Chains A and B, each alone.
Chain A
């Protein structure tokens, strides 16, 4: 699972302020020797905005020797940096750092850390919100007219969603970026663990991901975006002198189950079509692996099985081992190589819930079916339900004045509504 802030997988590292890294003349992932309390490790450096200058931090819990393939030889043990003083462990120490000149590549699931002023992320301040509850949503840019090139297709037999219309509401305010939803989804849906090398090649298989974006306060010669007042464009970030004044926003991104899904139109073999309950379906058995759907998805939420992760001896993951295979969820099929996969809105849980209600001869209640991600989220940031039910929690959440849809101007009509992040500052500027 990628570290929520650094997005690094499989290793620990030295988090250093960008100005310090520049002072030491370090390249990206340059290895340094850190010595403190008589213990030395060599770890690569990651430039971490927000890390206080003249300090570094190293995550503990790595470098294990008896943890099996998940933990053995992954990263370096940082516990010996602890000292014991007056009955408590001291988690800080004076350290000396020496550049070694080597580099050690780290595998991150995200390498671009700013949202470039694009309205995929919408945030505002509490002061603004108090004045106008729709602040930050971008309505001032003009209402995007909903139109269709085709007439009346939402109501005919093929396209109507008469009974259920499964959608989600994700509150950016509540999301802490912890990543529990990522783990829950991977566990529920038998998502393969691909290993450090594959993650380094940008092939991790997580069906839901947490996008973490930094936005900086204006300083130096960098210019802020007009819309947000923060510096988020790559070109401008390069001109910043001080990276300390940084804010972070986390956005869980998963298949949006678009009603006008761009992926469905381009699959040559009809492996992905829309269900009468609003889900974008993925038929693994039909997929021939042309990857056109993944190229066409503007949210880039589709994942391709590049190898037989469950059957290729080069991958030593839980799918391969005859004992850990017992961990697999029997309700979800595993996928062969060459097949596309993505968030299915836990369709196995939806079907199980509907079946239970049917067997008990009663209608389905709101909240009876829980998504794996929703169930695990400790902040209740994810709400799932039936949009057709006007009393459902999700319907009420989507009515909120803070609701917006990512890339709605593309008219793909996504089914996941996000809610504007409101930062608790008394000022009107986000910076």
Chain B
């Protein structure tokens, strides 16, 4: 639209003086087109060591058997499914940012959706490794697929929540990959057109021959919108299905209908925290402060606050319903969580998930980058404990007291988990070297309407209410990428 003017009181989504389309392309493609710096190498070596730890731990598990983990006949799932749900939950924020915010026309998603969606894909990869690793006979994992076979064609159990998981996670992974890659095509074409030699050939193949013509863009936007529209219920359904692993069981503490919304809220909570963990560092190291601005950081913190509060309300509801139901097993399960042998896990969960995000009511803390980063780590630790508490405390003391047993992790359990974090970061660091971590085409859309430069031009044209301009200038003070000196005389 030629004369689309955004209201001046809206904060800019892109900062920086003398921004041009060329400059956007150059800055975002800097890590892709140049050799990596020391920071990247340090990160990569540490992550690669973690990934190697993962390889070693998984190999031990596959070779000797699941006995290498700390599980027993009472506690059949512990770090494995905790890790699985943790990773899937983290993945959901990416789809939320890409899909849900697109459906709601939230333009601030434009600069963060590429990295967030990449994070989703890598997180789902880590989750999928857990699914295969936790099986007793993983080489037979294809038994979960309804393929015709020689056993009289023995099919699969469509009643089982784990089967639902298989379909949900595979659909989620493939649709996310499709959505992410389709969005990447214009950006890969940008790289292709600036590259030479072998790089050009590789990116040419990857770009599918993208040309940026009119009809292509029109179809692209339609496809994006529809994919976003179906990804929204997809993300809700996937974590609902993951919650069904517990909700469709009989165990006290698992058998509760609050799990679907509770898990989805928790997933978004931990996912946004992981996005913060990644992007707050990435923007500094890659020099993307103009694109991932304080507005983005603060908005994500607000979502963390909202979903953290929902999770807190869910905890209280669970507790209330256990008491109100009068079911002695359910009541015992909750009292045991708070006062039994795993009380320390429960209280870590409570303080990390319920108490700490409430600190974001303070706008000063919400806009403080080091604090946001630290809190994002705390939230993810808390969410890990939440899944651990749900899984282990419900299993270790259930209906028949003679089976009550403790669970202790082994080094292999810990190695698989820390290793999966290493795998995740390795993939992410490779991603930022090979592909643009910000959606170039989408950010270019913002230059004329929602950028600091465009708004400055608007102010200089002089047709605006002074009160609104003042409000706008005040909102700019929190940005770390804006030089307030420019606004002295405007």
Contact = CB atoms under 8 A, between A and B. Distances in A.
| A and B touch in their complex, CB below 8 angstroms | yes
Interface of A: 110-112, 114-118, 120, 198, 201-204, 209, 211-213, 251, 253, 262, 265-270, 286-292, 294-296, 298-300, 302-308, 312, 336-340, 406-407, 410, 412
State the 4 A-B residue pairs at the shortest beta-carbon distance, nearest first. Answer: A289-B136, A338-B136, A306-B67, A291-B76
A207 to B, nearest CB: 11
B53 to A, nearest CB: 22
A286 B70 CA distance: 24
16 contacts: A115-B402, A203-B73, A265-B248, A268-B166, A269-B144, A286-B143, A288-B137, A288-B140, A288-B141, A288-B144, A295-B76, A296-B251, A302-B73, A303-B73, A339-B137, A406-B400
A219 B184 CA distance: 74
B399 A299 contact: yes
Given A268-B156, A289-B135, A296-B249, A201 B72 contact: yes
B159 interface: yes
Chain B's interface size range is: 35 or more
Interface of B: 64-67, 70-74, 76-77, 134-138, 140-141, 143-144, 151, 154-157, 159-163, 166, 245, 248-251, 328-329, 332, 395, 397-406
Contacts of A115: 401-402
Contacts of B401: 112, 114-116, 118, 120, 213
Contacts of B248: 265-266
A398 B156 CA distance: 36
Nearest to A297: B250
Contacts, number: 169
Contacts of A406: 400
Interface of A is mostly: loop
B160 A268 contact: yes
Given A201-B72, A338-B137, A291 B404 contact: no
A304 B73 contact: yes
B70 A295 contact: no
A288 B245 contact: no
B154 A286 contact: yes
Contacts of A336: 137
Contact of A298 (B72, B137, B163, B251): B251
A39 B80 CA distance: 50
Given A287-B136, A288-B135, A304-B76, A213 B159 contact: no
A204 B245 CA distance: 26
Contacts of B72: 201-203
Contacts of A110: 402-403
Nearest to B142: A288
A118 B65 contact: no
Contacts of A204: 73
Given A213-B401, A290-B136, A407-B399, A203 B160 contact: no
B440 to A, nearest CB: 42
Nearest to A194: B67
Nearest to B145: A269
A207 B401 CA distance: 17
Contacts of B140: 288
A289 B137 contact: yes
B264 to A, nearest CB: 21
B374 to A, nearest CB: 35
Contacts of B141: 288
A111 B405 contact: yes
